């Protein structure tokens, strides 16, 4: 199934066939990436990487993906180095660059920013994170990692922990997982950081949803931990109450064949000692970002 010429804004409207087409192409791109090949299919094409929020993994991953496909990258990683610092709007930045590029990749602190960008240009737009809303490419690499490790997605129980209110990775992954059969979604968070109610109602239409009153990792096939986002919590005391930690003691309670994931960066929510556990898959998860984003870019531009 082709995404040619399409925007990639949200996991909400995606269907299973679209997701599976990306995962299948990601597997092919993974082989090329493992061999450190540079392909030629994006030769002569330019991607604008516009990051209005700090990023290491996502921006570098997209940049690497485009270059591995043979394309070029322009843009900025700090809005202070762009005309945004002079008061230029996102609308005007898009209009100024659209004649120069074949694809926009945008991260922005405002929810709906990527959708707004897509509405003002005919150049395809990929949402690399809009506030606390969506992060669809992260959801695809998460699914790819799960399928690669577990050999399936159908029938899994996935526990998501941490900042579920502002966590755009959790939001996108939840909607993507809901497209598969017999998936059960479990959520555990501090009371002030619960999954938004309207999202839970949406998800209950497609899969089983359970909110846990205490941290219980024993039934999950996948434990998906997220950072408590200090930058989105104004009250320091609220942040302190929200902090949690996964260490070896917690991991002992996980299934022997479970996997621990995290979209990174982590702070203190996963102890470094957990890195040595074979079930810790967050660095493999991060590595998978490049071939998955190669697949997304190729699906849109090829």
Name the catalytic one among 16, 57, 150, 279: 57
Residue 212: which residues within 8 A CB-CB, separation 6 or more?
Answer: 159, 186, 187, 188
Reply yes or no on whether 168 is catalytic.
Answer: no
Q: Reply yes or no on whether 232 is catalytic.
A: no
**DSSP line for 7-69:** -B--STT--HHHHHHHHHHHHHHHHHHHTT---STTTT-EEEEEESS--SHHHHHHHHHHHHT
Residues with Cβ within 8 Å of residue 72, at least 6 apart in sequence = 45, 46, 47, 66
For residue 78 the two structure tokens come to 């700090």
CB atoms inside a 10 Å sphere around CB 160: 26
User: Is 52:107 a contact under the CB 8 Å cutoff?
Assistant: yes
Q: Is 135 a catalytic residue?
A: yes
Annotated active-site residue 148? The verdict is no
135, 168, 171, 262: the catalytic one is 135
Is residue 143 packed enough to be buried (19+ CB in 10 Å), middle (13-18) or exposed (0-12)? buried
Is 86 considered catalytic here? yes
| Given 35, 36, 80, 86, the catalytic residue | 86
Q: CA separation (Å) from 172 to 43, 140, 166, 284? A: 31, 9, 12, 19
What DSSP string runs through 101-156?
-SEEEEEESSTTHHHHHHHT-SS-EEEEEETTS--HHHHHHHHHHHHHHHS--TT-
Exactly one of 68, 93, 107, 227 is catalytic; which is it?
Answer: 107
What's the residue count for the chain?
302
Token pair belonging to 216: 């219980």
Residues forming the active site? 57-58, 86, 107, 135
């Amino acid at each position: 199934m082709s995404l040619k010429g399409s925007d990639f804004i949200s996991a909400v409207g995606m269907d299973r066939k679209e997701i599976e087409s990306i995962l299948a192409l990601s597997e092919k791109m993974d082989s090329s990436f493992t061999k450190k090949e540079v392909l030629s299919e994006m030769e002569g094409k330019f991607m604008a990487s516009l990051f209005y929020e700090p990023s290491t993994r996502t921006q570098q991953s997209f940049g690497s993906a485009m270059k591995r496909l043979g394309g070029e990258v322009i843009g900025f990683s700090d809005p202070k180095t762009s005309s945004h610092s002079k008061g230029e709007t996102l609308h005007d930045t898009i209009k100024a660059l659209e004649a120069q590029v074949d694809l926009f990749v945008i991260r922005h602190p405002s929810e709906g920013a990527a959708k707004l960008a897509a509405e003002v240009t005919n150049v395809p737009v990929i949402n690399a994170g809009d506030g606390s809303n969506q992060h669809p490419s992260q959801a695809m690499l998460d699914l790819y990692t799960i399928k690669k490790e577990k050999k399936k997605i159908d029938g899994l129980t996935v526990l998501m922990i941490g900042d579920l209110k502002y966590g755009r990775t959790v939001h996108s992954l939840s909607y993507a997982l809901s497209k598969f059969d017999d998936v059960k979604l479990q959520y555990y968070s501090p009371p002030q950081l619960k999954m938004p109610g309207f999202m839970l109602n949406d998800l209950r239409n497609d899969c089983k949803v359970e909110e846990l009153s205490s941290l219980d990792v024993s039934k999950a096939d996948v434990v998906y931990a997220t950072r408590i986002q200090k930058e989105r919590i104004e009250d320091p005391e609220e942040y302190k109450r929200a902090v949690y930690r996964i260490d070896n003691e917690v991991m002992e309670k996980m299934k022997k064949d479970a996997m621990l994931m995290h979209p990174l960066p982590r702070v203190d929510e996963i102890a470094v000692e957990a890195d040595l556990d074979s079930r810790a898959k967050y660095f493999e998860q991060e590595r998978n970002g490049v071939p998955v984003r190669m697949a997304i870019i190729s699906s849109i531009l090829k």
